[in-house]
Amino acid sequence: MKLNLLFINDVHGYLAPHPELFYNESGEIIETVGGYAHIGGIVDSIRKENPNTLLFDGGDTLHGTKPVVDSKGEAMISILNALKPDALVGHWDFGYGPEQLQKINEQLNFPILGCNVFTEDGENFLQPIALFETEGVKIGVIGICAMIVDKVMPKKMSGDLKFTSGIEALPKHIHDLKDQGTAIIILLSHNGFPQDVELLKNVEGIDICLSAHTHNRIYSPLKVNDALIVQCGCHGAFVGNFTLEVEENKIQNYDYELMKVGDTTPKSSEIDTLVQQVLKPYTAIRSDGLGTTKEVLHRYDTINSTMDNFLLKAIAHATHTDIAFSNGWRYGAPIPIGKITKDDLYNIAPMNPPISTVELTGLDIKEMLEENLERTFCSNPLKQMGGYVKRVLGLQINMRIENPNGHRIQEIYYKGSHLKMNQTYTVSFVTSQGVAKKYGKNRKEHPQKAVEAMKMYLKEHPEFTSDPVESFRLV
């Protein structure tokens, strides 16, 4: 039997084709890719060729762009039901709270899985597994949601739920599936590629791991402890396609292709109609220019970001501060050279969070940055807490990434001199992920929000050029 396993992850609400960053021998280039109509076209063509096809979604699906956030994820329901995935897991999908996720779950024609999400009384909040059968072959899927939801994300996302790594729950589910005669066991995980590799080293019995969260473009599967692991970038730019030859309840051979979702790929007219209905009220903000950029703005670098440099300059301008912080978010499609639209601003900060200021000592700043570097680069993948390095404006941080926890930062410069550890600095930030509540004093929320601050900044600086000095520098 030939079985096709299709996979998408971290689409982040990008309904239509959009600019995406790629690389060639000359450096960074922008191409227009993605869109659910094209994803649906690819899926339909493979399903037509092989009815023995399953499609899985690795999550970060119900959040990320203004139309999706405005509807608290509900704009995705009809589109997903038309796409017909077989299961989904989540992370930012909890962005509107557990109750809203369950409301959406009840309207989907497929399950949201999560064997590692528990209520206060220890019960599973989501269905842990799903079992499929085709031509007598049973395929079991175990879902893992992002373990960081109750640890570093805003409290409203987790409520009273508890999220684990899933490593303790997996053996039981694998055993139960094998007892039911399951031939192929798939792990659908939103923990991240480093975390999933570590998990596979410690758990036997998984055949394929469909990994998400860290936006890796994996063109050839990595084999870990007899399991094959892949990840498919982000924003719907790719569809992963496993073609498996299954005989005597075992995978005898396989092929894998990371398929780019370009303009020449097939299109689902049904999904295209649904997407256009959702986008119609947002036509103006997707076309009206507020300013221009002289360089590509993106978030694809681990330690610095031209896109967040723009965001931070805007909030620092609005609050008259010299130092600003934001979280190292991964999502947000690049803004090409040229026009910046209001829709672009919402893609940078889809929640449109308020701007705040807080007083931090130099020691607070150093400890906060050291904590963030450990959460990003911890040698134990299961203690990495997601996202890139915190984005910083107004400081120059020289660091050694290989150093142990608490000792990565060599120097911090502020206005050409070493940051003074006992001096207090007023800084600006967005969301508690920018500056956690445990740091500083005199925290004040300003009336302006992030999108309004960026609009005001463009009004006064209509041609944006990013500061060429990087905040973080490896030495």
The Cα 394–Cα 313 span in angstroms is 9
The Cα 213–Cα 211 span in angstroms is 7
**Can you read off the two tokens belonging to residue 141?**
């899927």
Q: Which residues contact 356 (CB under 8 A, 6 or more apart)?
A: 428, 429, 430, 434, 435, 443, 444, 445, 446
The DSSP code for 16 is S
pLDDT for the residue numbered 468:
67
Give the CATH number of domain 2-280: 3.60.21.10
The Cα 314–Cα 466 span in angstroms is 12
The Cα 398–Cα 454 span in angstroms is 28
439-441-445 Cα angle (round to 5) = 95
pLDDT tens-place string over residues 400-439:
999 999 999 999 999 999 999 999 999 999 999 999 999 9
pLDDT tens-place string over residues 175-203:
999 999 999 999 999 999 999 999 999 99
Mean confidence (pLDDT) of the chain: 97
pLDDT for the residue numbered 470:
80
Domain-wise residue ranges, the chain:
2-280, 288-474
Task: From residue 102, give the alpha-carbon distance in Å to each of 144, 185, 350.
Answer: 16, 26, 22
Cβ atoms within 10 Å of 386's Cβ, excluding its own: 25
| CATH architecture, domain 288-474 | Alpha-Beta Complex (3.90)
pLDDT < 50 regions, the chain: none
Q: Directed axis angle between helix 36-49 and helix 269-279, to 10°?
A: 160
pLDDT for the residue numbered 467:
74
pLDDT tens-place string over residues 278-299:
999 999 999 989 999 999 999 9
Cα Rg of the chain, angstroms: 22
Supply the pTM of this predicted model: 0.97
CB 105 within 8 A of CB 120: no
DSSP E strands, 1-42: 2-8, 18-24, 27-33
pLDDT tens-place string over residues 347-383:
999 999 999 999 999 999 999 999 999 999 999 999 9
